[in-house]
Amino acid sequence: MPESQVTETAARPFLKWAGGKTQLLNAIEARLPDIIRETGKIKRYVEPFVGGGAVFFHLQGKYEIEEAWLYDINRELIVGYRAVQEDYLALLDKLYDIEHTYLNLSKPERKKYFYRTRDTYNKQMHEFDYQEYTTEWIDRATMLIYLNKTCYNGLFRQNQKGEFNTPHGRYVSPTICDADNITAAHQALQAANIVCSDFKTAEQHIDTNTFVYYDPPYRPLNKTSSFTSYFKSGFTDENQRELVEFFHKMDTRGAYQLLSNSDPKNEDPDDKFFENLYAGESITIERVTANRNINRNGSDRGAISELIIWNY
């Protein structure tokens, strides 16, 4: 595969991630602090739940971000980010090889190849060093991206053991090696600090010069909703309450904060869970329309309202 060059392509998520914010980008940008939109600069950007990174990549392409801190508790996701940041050319070579191999297989062979790779990926988890970055991270990131691009509905999902358990998808010609976008993502991540940790660790980098965007695992709208299944331990109502305490604490520091979450009123018009949690004179809560494209039941996909909450 030829070497990639500097690209003018606008970076976007290199993984499909449950609850991705691509469709909310305009709504989020319209609600950015005035100082950011007027100056075109973000002194320090902190995202405690980076996920697919749609908001970071969008803002990085339109504003000058002097310093960025990207956190996520999902260690597999962080492996992917670090490989793109550190060794994107080696990653592209491996993705090109796996794409060439996969696309030249018959349908039954593709299915066997997928499950064989998934088994290898899950077995490696138990002995993989997630602490120190090495070239082995490139191989694991390659498998992660391949599985994400070829699994059912592109949904990264883990069971209680932390194993990737999404079944094989039926894409005819999936793009496994998206060289332009991975190159663009690599360039966008050069000024970013990428950390595997929970949201509370981000506190040390938040002050009056910081813009914080929170995209926590969404609160399930009902008992069958799977918004939080991207990580083995989920994100409970108690975690949501811990997050609002963190939000209020950072508010006292003068940080600009914006958060998105599910709207309970889609299912229960009387559910004021988030209104009660985030009540305060300086806090605004608005509802915006979004289409949810990841759902167990395809007939349930469609327009719903989501919440955008900010403190400035």
So what CATH class is 22-74+193-310?
alpha beta
Q: Which residues contact 240 (CB under 8 A, 6 or more apart)?
A: 216, 219, 261, 273, 277
Distance CA 293, CA 227 (A): 11
**Is residue 224 within 8 Å of 13, Cβ to Cβ?**
no
pTM above 0.85, yes or no: yes
Ranges of residues in the chain whose predicted pLDDT is under 50: 2, 226-231, 294-299
The pLDDT value recorded for residue 283 is: 95
Locate 31 and state its tokens: 């609600």
Burial 266-276 (b: 16+ CB within 10 A, else e): beeeeeebbee
Q: Concatenate the DSSP letters of all residues of 113-124 into one string.
A: HHHHHHHHHHHH
Distance CA 231, CA 99 (A): 26
| Amino acid letter for position 185 | A
The pLDDT value recorded for residue 11 is: 97
1.10.1020.10, 1.10.1670.10, 3.40.50.2000, 1.10.287.3510: which CATH number matches 80-180?
Answer: 1.10.1020.10
| Amino acid letter for position 73 | I
Inter-CA distances, 148 with 18, 76, 157, 170, Å: 11, 12, 10, 12
**Is residue 226 within 8 Å of 95, Cβ to Cβ?**
no
The pLDDT value recorded for residue 303 is: 80
Distance CA 48, CA 40 (A): 22
First to last CA, the chain: 48
The pLDDT value recorded for residue 18 is: 78
pLDDT in tens, 5-37: 566 789 999 999 877 788 899 999 999 999 999
Please state the domain extents for the chain. 22-74+193-310, 80-180
